[in-house]
Structure 1
Amino acid sequence: MERTSFGHMQCPIARSLEHVGEWWSILILRDAFYGLSRFDEFQASLGVATNTLSRRLAALVEAGLLEKRRYMERPPRYEYVLTDRGRDFRPVLLSLLAWGNRQFATEGRSVELIDRESGEAVEPVLCDRATGRPIAEMRVRAVAGPAADERMRRRLSDPPVL
């Protein structure tokens, strides 16, 4: 079955999924945030087949989320480091972590976020940058932006409340 491409869609969620919608990609990014950078480290952590890992790493490099850097000449060896675009994915990962803890960790939390200064547990919350108000407490709606095409404008002509 051939994979559907979402890159041509105007929806920012669809376009994001074009680059990180495959579960190995998100787990590779998670491990990169945990400090892993070498192929064998990702492979050992994830237990993923080497051909799958090679394809996912190449796709993340092509998408600009990771940068491939040579760290050894003979034999040639590479490391994969987060780019600015990749580091910008951090809030998404932290949101997934918090959501997974709330919704699916029936045995209890296996990973927690701790403030380095206070030592207190922290719970990520998506907030409006301008007001600092949590989005979950606001009644927001999706509206067509300035670059929206006619199809997107029609879809959002009666804006849904999110």
Structure 2
Amino acid sequence: MNAKSRSIKDGIFVTIGSIVVLILSFALYFLLFRLFEGMIMGEQEGMVVGHQPDSLNFVSWLRMGYGIAWLLGGLAVYRSGLPEWFKASILAGALTSFFAAFGVQLYEMPMIMTGVIILVIAAALVWLYKMHKKWYHYYAVAIAIAASAFYLFPY
């Protein structure tokens, strides 16, 4: 297989892998949310219906922790011996999870939200450049930006 066809094949793998990672990431967040919600609502069963103080206070912490965990996990994957296209797919999922978490958390402060996202994108691009990564790693960043834009700005 020549280098050009291998590069195209890797790009296709990154596209499909990124979509799969994004689906798994959001599904895992939903499952974690339901688990925490179930535990908290279970503790409050004896309360009057409709009066559940602090029942969703965990959401901010879960959301932020989940986004940071994905970002750190994405960085850790780059130290592994996994295929490069898989690393790029994980990067797309990690960045999107982080952007979604911080974007939703900071939706009332759009300038700060935008600043954080731009800062992370710039750091990711510089990091990839310094590591001399192939084009599809940058493509993964573009996938993350596009997916985040659809998630954060649906209208």
What TM-score bracket applies, with the shorter chain setting the length? under 0.3
- Greater strand percent: which structure? 1
Of structures 1 and 2, the one scoring higher in RCO (CA 8 A, sep 6+) is 2
- Greater helix percent: which structure? 2
Q: Structure 1-normalised TM-score?
A: 0.25
Q: Structure 2-normalised TM-score?
A: 0.26
